[in-house]
Structure 1
Amino acid sequence: MILRSNANATHEPLAEINITPLVDVMLVLVVILLVMAPMLSRTLHIDLPRVAASTPEARDHAVTVSLDAHGKLSIDGRDLATDQLEPTLRLIAARSDRIVVNLHADRSQPFGAVANLLARIGHAGIAHVAVATANEGQRN
């Protein structure tokens, strides 16, 4: 406790708050904020390409693989057994290295089935796969 020592000497405690440590802490916090603010505002700027409409691949270079709601697999509208997918796609890929597979999968199919289908397409040697989606306003 700090006592006053003046001519009146009433020996009352000094009721003033020392704000120097508070100001020191606040100045340190302001400096930290000023140093960290530029780091927090850095973002990765990616200039994405702009296209008016995507042009579909030429018919002889595109293959459509479909998986319907019942798990039935087809290539270009022809039904196919699941174990025949890879050999069939290997034969198609052997004709051209520009083959693009357009994958149409029913939304009711679980992700595991679609991921398995993507893996099989990749094992067949197809490098380019496009997953077909519908626009939000479009109805099937």
Structure 2
Amino acid sequence: MAVSLGGNSGGPMSEINVTPLVDVMLVLLIIFMITAPLMSHSITIDLPIANPKTKDAELPVAPLDLAVKQDGSLYFNDHLVTEAELRAQFAVNAQKSPQPELQIRADKNTEFKIVKKIIGDAKDSGMVHVGFMTTDAPKG
């Protein structure tokens, strides 16, 4: 509470009333004292193991390599194939258990509609694992 000690007339006081500031700071201090211990407690959960070592672990399956050139020519495992042959290969490999991954390497100038058609054919054949191969960005 600010009190005038006499002197001049009852003009405006230039002193800052810090009582509300101290009240707010004490409330914040109490809040932080209560919540700080709660933040140090962690919740423990059991996460699944990424690669479990089991007795009947299956051997890794070699991925299927599909190269698509700019002109639309298709190379399945480094052999030139037509679209019909490629769909037949997709149907055969989709029946395997475990199913191999199809890795598509498309030229950067290849039209996307060609790649989209290949992905659609693979999906229609039952292929589930489809990936894209790229090169690293130049360093420097």
Q: What displacement does 1:115 show?
A: 4.4
Cα distance change of structure 1 residues 110 and 97 upon mapping to structure 2, 3 Å threshold: same
Q: Does structure 1 residue 126 correspond to structure 2 residue 127?
A: yes
- Counterpart contact for 1:90–1:124, Cα < 8 Å: yes
What code does the residue aligned with 1:90 have? A
Percentage of matched positions with identical amino acids: 24
Which runs of no fewer than 5 residues in structure 2 stay unpaired? 40-46, 52-59
What is the aligned partner in structure 1 of residue 98 from structure 2? 98
After superposition, residues 1-140 of structure 1 pair within 5 angstroms as 4=4, 6=5, 8=6, 10-13=8-11, 14-25=13-24, 31=31, 57-58=61-62, 62-76=63-77, 77-81=79-83, 85-94=86-95, 96-100=96-100, 101-109=102-110, 113-136=114-137
Preserved contact between residue 3 and residue 12 of structure 1 (Cα < 8 Å): no
Q: TM-score, normalised by structure 2?
A: 0.53
Change (3 A) 1:19 1:118: farther
Unaligned 5+ runs, structure 1? 39-44, 50-55
RMSD: 4.2
**So what's the TM-score if we normalise by structure 1?**
0.53
Distance 1:23 1:110 in 2: 68
